[in-house]
């Protein structure tokens, strides 16, 4: 046992507790008595005070002094030291760093204050009352500069706990109660920051500060209990009122009925052995209790393991101490957690103003981590309710007006309301003005001059590949002669029969609203509404027509486009995007969505036209179609067919778009109609009354994931159909949203990358081939001629005043051939000419050719001097043939 002269943790407070604990456990566990007789207790006293951070350094010196003691011991040695590899019981350690089991694997700490539990309980208490703005007043008590007091450790831990949760606003005010006595200045600073204050200080200082919440340990040496009464009765009345809003946080105290004999024995040992008579606070405080607990818990484990003590490792013995609850004679429910730290429950104590004493109001369980109410004091506050997180008028009293300012406040309120009303009126007037201007405007009126009323004059552009596959008559029949020419381009029209005048249209408020909603359409998937033409016989509603026709024409055409899955999928997405735009506009629905009104532009994007036609036709004629035999009815929902005045709805659009999607997947038309055949169209419209459903069979061509979706969209009851958004979401799970042009560009990028790699590989092969060809050409003609020929340059004839021509000959070559095989003859020539080639590499001589056994070279004057030619000729003389060469 290592102790110091510290007045709280040193030899005098803790020594008697160790002595009494050891003697009592001998009587409690008689079966382990023989083990205890072999275990000796050594005590090392270090004068002075050393902090926890410097303890490991101090222990090195202690180790030297105790080495002789350790040599006398066998088995386990229990030392209060954090560095040696033995079971360590630190009876007064509260530092959370001891939970680091990599550094302290065998330490079991019996701290007098469970700092972590205090922080958890404080946060839970704040959460219970919805307090978020908190001030922490932390007492340093710098009597020992190197020693952090329990108060300051508590404050730091609570601060870190609250600041880890961003919803708290924490203000820190450190002070030293031994030097700072101007608490009024600190309280003025607190008053401007928060209403909820934690004070970490001594009980005597707490009474002077008079605050709301004060975390405090049970009893401390020489410090005493928290009291609101003073010895001289000064300020008792003010203190009594203040403490009614104060909450004290304690660890549970021992039961004196069972523990008083222990404290009396500690006092007796201290008087006899240490020559000191302990006061009540000195003999019964947290440090003394923890010293006793360290011996009592260790003895309890030794009593369980003394028969197998020799087989236990240090770590195993330390683990047996942990993660269990001890019911001891001095204190019940002592819990050591899995990290070897003593955990303590927390009592929240309030002042009972009836009895004038402090009583428990709340309880925090460390094991279950639950907060509970234990008495009616939990609901009793100074002003009847718990203090609010912030004052009603703010911390600086700047959020409330003073009495006498009612007139100014009334004027301010009236002015504010007037300004708001004027602003609202101005905005409404501006909106109404622009709305009426758009409605009364005749922007929709088209001049009759550029409009051709003759349907037979319709001609599609020659660039339209889809249109070229259909005859003009078939095209007009398909569209029921709804196509016209306007400004030399094809347009889609709906005829109003009988014709109505411009004034009749402009006088109808519903028509003005509908036209105003259509005017502002701006979407790449919605076509342009050109306007209304007042012709002599009919009135026409005019929309733009696709440069590549409509979707139905694409599906009917036997072309690559009609079978391209990516193109058709992107068109479905265009259709859904355009319909979503219309349904979110002021128009709210399309009304006549079909594959005939889905136009295809130059980029093969779908643009919806014909929107609003059912609404305008109903307003002008009382029918939602131009005529009873209109083929657009094949795509209309059942409710629109049954009621000819039904203008349309969002659910009816879902029905129509589902039929268009089925057309794309199955390549079929509604009711299998042949649009180019009048009889087929008439019969299909007549069959609509039989309510055939679905109008397009849902075959295996439809992806399985979409079949149920199609069935729900084609239900007769509009309320049972899904919304357009749900339709789009489910369709998007099967087909990724991507434009056709984007898909083409991505494919082109992949093709370009593959082509670049192929070209690079072919280029490398070409360079290799060119090298081989150049080498072969240089064997046949001079190198400078090879370069000229490659550059397609002329090769002029040259003449030289001096040149040397060399011919070689093999003597008796005919007889050699006659006596040799062909392979031998070739080998002879190859050997001789190879030697010639090697020799010529060292001279500027050109090899012209080899003819049978003759080797011809030349050297012209511009490259070789006469003496060099003579030298070369003399060099050839050394290679004249001899009969011995072949052999």
Q: Encode pLDDT of 537-554 as tens digits.
A: 889 999 999 888 899 888
CATH of the domain at 475: 1.10.510.10
Q: Which residues pair with 336 in a beta bridge?
A: 324, 342
Do 531 and 414 sit in the same domain of this protein? no
Task: Name the token pair of 35.
Answer: 């083990």
Please work out, in degrees rounded to the nearest 5, the angle formed at the alpha carbon of residue 205 by the alpha carbons of 201 and 208: 135
Q: How many other C-beta atoms can be found within 10 angstroms of the C-beta atom of residue 3?
A: 21
The range of the structural domain enclosing residue 305 comes to 2-112+259-336
More confident residue, 137 or 55: 137
Token pair of 833 as six digits: 């000419």
10 and 120 within one domain:
no
Q: pLDDT value at position 462? A: 57
Choose from 81-90, 471-480, 665-674, 850-859 the range with maximum mean pLDDT. Answer: 665-674
User: Does residue 210 sit in the same domain as residue 272?
Assistant: no
The single residue listed with the structure tokens 């110091």 is 4
pLDDT-based confidence at residue 579 (cuts at 50, 70, 90): very high
Contact yes or no for 278/267 (Cβ under 8 A): yes
| pLDDT tens profile 83-138 | 445 566 766 665 666 666 666 777 777 766 777 888 888 898 888 888 888 888 88
841 inside domain: yes
Q: How far apart are CA 562 and CA 667, in angstroms?
A: 9
- Band (pLDDT 50/70/90 cuts) for residue 880 is very low
User: What CATH number is given to the structural domain containing 22?
Assistant: 3.40.50.2300
Residue 77 pLDDT level (bands cut at 50, 70, 90): very low
Nearest-angstrom CA–CA distance, 321 and 339? 10
Once rounded to an integer, what is the mean pLDDT over residues 225-239? 56
The secondary element (H helix, E strand) that includes residue 342 is strand 342-343
Does position 864 have pLDDT exceeding 60, yes or no?
no
The span from the CA of 277 to the CA of 725, in Å, is 86
The reply to whether omega before 498 is within 30° of 0 (cis) is yes
What distance in Å separates the CA atoms of residue 310 and residue 681, rounded to the nearest whole number? 102
- Angle at which helix 565-583 crosses helix 650-666, to 10 degrees, equals 170
**Strand bridging mode 133-139 / 196-200:** parallel
The pLDDT of residue 48 is 58
Residue 869 neighbours by CB under 8 Å, 6+ apart: 804, 859
pLDDT-derived band at 615, boundaries 50, 70, 90 = very high
The set of residues, in sequence order, having a beta carbon less than 8 Å from that of 721 and lying 6+ positions away, is 651, 654, 655, 712, 713, 715
Q: How long is the chain?
A: 887
Please state, as a whole number, how many other Cβ atoms lie within 10 Å of the Cβ of residue 690. 8
- pLDDT tens readout for residues 813-859: 888 888 889 898 888 888 888 888 888 888 878 888 888 788 888 87
For residue 56, pLDDT beyond 60: no
What φ, ψ does residue 752 adopt, rounded to 5°? -65, -40
Looking at residues 169-178, what average pLDDT do you find? 84
Q: Which residues pair with 213 in a beta bridge?
A: 198, 247
Listing from the earlier edge strand, what are the strands of the sheet with 213-215?
169-175, 133-139, 196-200, 213-215, 247-250, 346-352, 357-365, 370-373
Find out whether 134 and 169 touch, Cβ atoms under 8 Å. yes
Closest CA relative to residue 591, chosen from 579, 581, 601: 579
Neighbour-count burial for 748-777, b at 16+ CB within 10 Å, e otherwise: eeeeeeeeeeeeeeeeeeeeeeeeeeeeeb
Average pLDDT over residues 445-458: 85
Torsion angles phi and psi, residue 575, rounded to 5: -60, -45
Q: Check whether residue 426 and residue 481 sit in a common domain.
A: no
Residue 384 lies inside a defined structural domain of this protein: no
Q: What is the mean pLDDT of the chain?
A: 77
Q: Which residues of 117-145 are buried (b: 16+ CB within 10 A; e: fewer)?
A: bbbbbbbebbeeeebbbbbbbbbbbeeee
Look at residue 809 and tell me whether its pLDDT is greater than 50. Answer: yes
Q: Tell me the backbone φ, ψ of residue 718, rounded to 5 degrees.
A: -60, -30
Q: Examine residue 196 and state whether it is found in any structural domain, yes or no.
A: yes
Q: Could you give the CA distance from residue 610 to residue 482 in angstroms, rounded to a whole number?
A: 11
Residue 44, domain member (yes or no): yes
Q: Domain holding 865: CATH number? A: 3.30.70.1230
- Average pLDDT for 48-73: 53
Domain boundary among 761, 790, 819: 790
Alpha helices by DSSP H, 81-149: 115-128
Check pLDDT > 60 for residue 216. Answer: no
SS3 864: coil
pLDDT at 662 over 70: yes
In the chain, what percentage of residues exceed pLDDT 70? 74
pLDDT at 469: 46
**660 has pLDDT over 90:** yes
Residue 565 sits in the same domain as residue 455? yes
- Cα–Cα distance measured from residue 15 to residue 93, given in angstroms and rounded to the nearest whole number: 16
Looking at the structure of the chain, the number of domains it has is: 6
* Lowest mean pLDDT across 55-64, 222-231, 703-712, 713-722: 222-231
24 assigned to some structural domain: yes
Is the CB of residue 44 less than 8 Å from the CB of residue 60? no
Comparing CA positions, the residue from 675, 636, 642, 638 lying closest to residue 657 is 636
pLDDT number for residue 147:
46
Of 14 and 647, which is predicted with more confidence? 647
DSSP annotation of 219 = -
Q: Which two tokens stand for residue 117?
A: 């539990």
555 & 671 share domain: yes
Across-strand partners of 458?
Answer: none
Q: Are residues 564 and 608 in the same domain?
A: yes
pLDDT band at 42 (very low <50, low <70, confident <90, very high): low
Q: Looking at the domain assignment, is residue 390 inside a domain?
A: no
Q: Are residues 516 and 661 in the same domain?
A: yes
The pLDDT of residue 727 is: 94
pLDDT bracket for residue 3 (50, 70, 90):
low
pLDDT the model gives residue 497: 84
Sign of CA dihedral 328, 334, 340, 342: negative
The DSSP secondary-structure symbol of 457 reads G
pLDDT of residue 807: 86
**Structure tokens of 132?**
């978020």
pLDDT at residue 746, rounded to an integer: 63
Alpha helices in 164-255 (DSSP H): 183-191, 203-209, 236-243
* Whether residues 165 and 122 fall in one domain: yes
Residue 562 scores a pLDDT above 90: no
Same domain, yes or no, for 710 and 771?
no
CA 784 to chain centroid, in Å, comes to 69
393 falls within a domain: no
Contacts of 640 (CB under 8 A, 6+ apart): 591, 614, 624, 633, 646, 648, 652
Q: Is 372 helix (H, G, I), strand (E, B) or coil?
A: strand
Instruction: Find the largest Cα–Cα distance for the chain.
Output: 152
For the record, the structure tokens of 220 come out as 């401390």
Specify the DSSP element, H or E, that contains 3. strand 2-4
Whole-angstrom distance, CA of residue 278 vs CA of residue 269: 10
| Residue 241 within any structural domain of the chain | yes
Cα torsion angle, 92, 94, 100, 103, sign: negative
Cβ distance 485 to 491 under 8 Å?
Answer: yes
Q: Tokens for 527, please give them.
A: 């076509």
Identify the pLDDT of residue 223. Answer: 37
Contacts 24+ apart (CB under 8 A), 384-390: 386/129, 387/195, 387/196, 387/212, 387/245, 388/195, 389/130, 389/131, 389/132, 389/133, 389/195, 389/196, 390/133, 390/194, 390/195
Question: For residue 402, is pLDDT > 90?
Answer: no
Question: With 60 as the cut, is the pLDDT of residue 866 above it?
Answer: no
Which single residue is written with the structure tokens 């630190």?
90
What's the average model confidence in pLDDT over 370-398? 77
DSSP string, 754-789: HHHHHHHHHHHHHHHHHHHHHHHHHHHS-HHHHHHH
Select the more confidently predicted residue: 60 or 545.
545
Residues 705 and 772 in one domain: no
407 by DSSP, 3-state: which?
Answer: helix
d(Cα 779, Cα 794) in Å, to the nearest integer? 20
- Same domain, yes or no, for 550 and 699? yes
Average pLDDT over residues 483-510: 88
The model's pLDDT over 751-798, given as tens digits with 9 standing for 90+, comes to 677 777 888 888 888 888 888 888 787 777 777 777 887 788 888 887
Residue 820's CB is within 10 A of a number of other CB atoms, namely 14
Contacts (Cβ under 8 Å, ≥6 apart) of 844? 859, 863, 864, 868
Residue 136, SS3? strand
SS3 of residue 534 by DSSP? strand
CA distance 122 to 214: 10
Q: How confident is the model at residue 37 (pLDDT cuts 50, 70, 90)?
A: low
């Amino acid at each position: 046992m290592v102790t110091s002269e510290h007045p709280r943790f040193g030899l005098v407070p803790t020594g008697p507790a160790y002595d009494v604990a050891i003697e009592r456990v001998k009587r409690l566990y008689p079966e382990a008595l023989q083990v205890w007789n072999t275990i000796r207790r050594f005590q090392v006293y270090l004068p002075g005070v050393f902090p926890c951070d410097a303890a490991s350094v101090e222990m090195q010196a202690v180790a030297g002094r105790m080495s002789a003691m350790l040599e006398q011991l066998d088995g386990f040695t229990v030392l209060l030291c954090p560095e040696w590899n033995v079971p360590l019981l630190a009876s007064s350690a509260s530092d959370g760093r001891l939970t680091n089991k990599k550094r302290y694997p065998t330490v079991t700490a019996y701290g007098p204050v469970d700092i972590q539990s205090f922080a958890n309980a404080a946060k839970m208490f704040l959460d219970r009352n919805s307090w978020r703005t908190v001030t922490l007043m932390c007492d340093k008590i710098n009597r020992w500069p190197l020693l952090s007091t329990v108060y300051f450790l508590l404050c730091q831990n609570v601060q870190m706990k609250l600041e880890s949760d961003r919803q708290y606003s924490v203000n820190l005010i450190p002070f030293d109660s031994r030097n700072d006595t101007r608490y009024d200045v600190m309280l003025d600073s607190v008053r401007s920051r928060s209403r909820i204050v934690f004070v970490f200080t001594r009980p005597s200082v707490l009474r002077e500060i008079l605050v709301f919440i004060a975390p405090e340990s049970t009893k401390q040496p020489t410090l005493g209990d928290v009291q609101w009464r003073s010895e001289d009765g000064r300020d008792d009345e003010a203190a009594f009122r203040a403490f009614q809003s104060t909450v004290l946080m304690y660890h549970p105290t021992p039961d004196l009925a069972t523990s008083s004999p222990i404290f009396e024995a500690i006092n007796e040992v201290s008087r006899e052995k240490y020559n000191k008579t302990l006061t009540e606070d000195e003999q019964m405080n947290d440090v003394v209790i923890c010293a006793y607990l360290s011996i009592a818990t260790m003895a309890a484990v030794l009593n369980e393991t003394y028969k197998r003590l020799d087989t236990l490792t240090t770590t195993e013995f330390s683990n047996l101490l942990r993660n269990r609850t001890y019911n001891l004679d001095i204190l019940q429910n002592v819990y050591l957690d899995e990290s070897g730290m003593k955990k303590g429950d927390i009592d929240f104590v309030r002042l009972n103003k009836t009895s004038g004493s402090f009583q428990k109001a709340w309880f925090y369980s460390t094991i279950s981590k639950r907060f509970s109410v234990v008495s009616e004091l939990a609901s009793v506050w100074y002003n009847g309710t718990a203090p609010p997180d912030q004052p009603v008028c703010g911390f600086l009293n700047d959020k409330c007006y003073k009495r006498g300012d009612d007139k100014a406040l009334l004027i301010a309120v009236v002015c504010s309301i007037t300004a708001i009303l004027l602003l609202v009126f101005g905005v409404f007037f501006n909106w109404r003005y622009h709305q009426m201007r758009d409605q009364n405007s005749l922007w929709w009126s088209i001049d009759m001059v550029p409009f051709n009323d003759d349907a037979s004059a319709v001609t599609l552009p020659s660039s339209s590949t889809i249109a070229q596959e259909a005859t003009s008559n078939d095209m007009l029949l398909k569209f029921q002669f709804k196509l016209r020419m306007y400004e030399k381009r094809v347009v889609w029209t709906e005829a109003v029969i009988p014709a109505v005048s411009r004034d009749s249209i402009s006088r109808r408020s519903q028509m003005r609203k509908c036209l105003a909603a259509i005017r502002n359409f701006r979407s790449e998937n919605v076509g342009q509404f050109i306007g209304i033409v007042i012709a002599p016989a009919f009135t026409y509603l005019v929309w733009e027509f696709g440069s590549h026709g409509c979707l139905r024409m694409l599906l009917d055409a036997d072309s690559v486009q009609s079978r391209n899955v990516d193109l058709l999928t992107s068109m479905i997405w265009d259709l859904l995007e355009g319909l979503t735009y219309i349904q979110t506009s002021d128009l709210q629905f399309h009304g006549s969505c079909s594959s005939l009104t889905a136009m295809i532009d130059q980029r093969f994007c779908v643009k919806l036209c014909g929107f609003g036609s059912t609404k305008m036709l109903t307003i002008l004629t009382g029918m939602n179609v131009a005529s009873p035999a209109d083929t657009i009815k094949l795509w209309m929902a059942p409710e629109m067919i049954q009621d000819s005045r039904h203008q349309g709805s969002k659910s009816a659009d879902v029905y129509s778009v589902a039929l268009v999607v089925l057309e794309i997947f199955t390549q079929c038309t509604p009711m299998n109609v042949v649009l180019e055949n009048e009889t087929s169209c008439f019969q299909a419209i007549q069959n609509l009354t039989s309510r055939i459903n679905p109008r397009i069979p849902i075959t295996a061509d439809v992806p399985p994931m979409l079949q149920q979706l199609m069935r729900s969209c084609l239900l007769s009851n509009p309320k049972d159909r899904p919304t357009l958004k749900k339709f789009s979401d489910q369709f998007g799970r099967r087909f990724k949203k991507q434009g056709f042009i984007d898909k083409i560009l991505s494919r082109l990028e992949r093709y370009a990358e593959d082509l670049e790699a192929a070209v690079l590989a072919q280029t490398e092969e070409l360079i290799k081939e060119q090298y081989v060809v150049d080498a072969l050409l240089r064997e046949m003609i001079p190198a400078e001629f090879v370069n000229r020929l490659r550059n397609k340059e002329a090769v002029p004839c040259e003449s030289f005043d001096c040149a040397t021509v060399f011919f070689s000959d093999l003597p008796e070559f005919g007889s050699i051939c006659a006596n040799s095989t062909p392979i031998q003859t070739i080998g002879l020539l190859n050997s001789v000419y190879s030697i010639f080639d090697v020799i010529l590499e060292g001279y500027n001589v050109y090899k012209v050719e080899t003819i049978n056994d003759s080797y011809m070279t030349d050297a012209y004057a511009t490259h070789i001097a006469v003496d060099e030619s003579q030298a070369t000729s003399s060099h050839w003389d050394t290679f004249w043939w001899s009969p011995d060469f072949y052999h």
